């Protein structure tokens, strides 16, 4: 997998980033774990995109599942954590069930 330096940080990220916005809505936890296994262990991706607003379409019942699935995968793959770059984002005001 080709990498590129992230700005002036000295951190190398894979040119392909694994997006996770459908996990918890369109994808199950098992699906997410399979995708993480493939992307990281087989394809060499080290860059994962997530956000507290995911899963998309935003719903109170699924909010946070994407990050939860990443967490359960990491708990089973602790030796890989230091090699990964997680890009996460916060949502702005207006969705009361996230932060009020």
pLDDT single digits (tens) 18-66 = 999 999 999 999 999 999 999 999 999 999 999 988 988 889 999 999 9
Active-site residue list: 54
Rounded to two decimals, the pTM is 0.90
Angle of CA points 75, 96, 86, to nearest 5°: 30
Number of domains the chain contains? 1
CA proximity to 19, closest of 57, 58, 45: 45
The verdict on residue 95 lying in a domain is: no
Structural domain of 75 = 3-90
The verdict on residue 39 lying in a domain is: yes
- pLDDT, the chain, mean: 94
């Amino acid at each position: 997998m080709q990498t590129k330096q992230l700005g002036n940080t000295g951190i190398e990220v894979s040119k392909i980033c694994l997006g996770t916005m459908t996990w918890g809505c369109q994808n199950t936890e098992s699906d997410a774990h399979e995708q993480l296994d493939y992307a990281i262990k087989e394809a060499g991706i080290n860059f994962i995109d997530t956000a507290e607003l995911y899963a998309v379409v935003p719903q109170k019942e699924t909010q946070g599942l994407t990050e939860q699935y990443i967490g359960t995968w990491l708990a089973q793959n602790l030796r890989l954590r230091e090699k990964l770059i997680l890009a996460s984002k916060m949502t702005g005001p207006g969705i009361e069930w996230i932060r009020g």
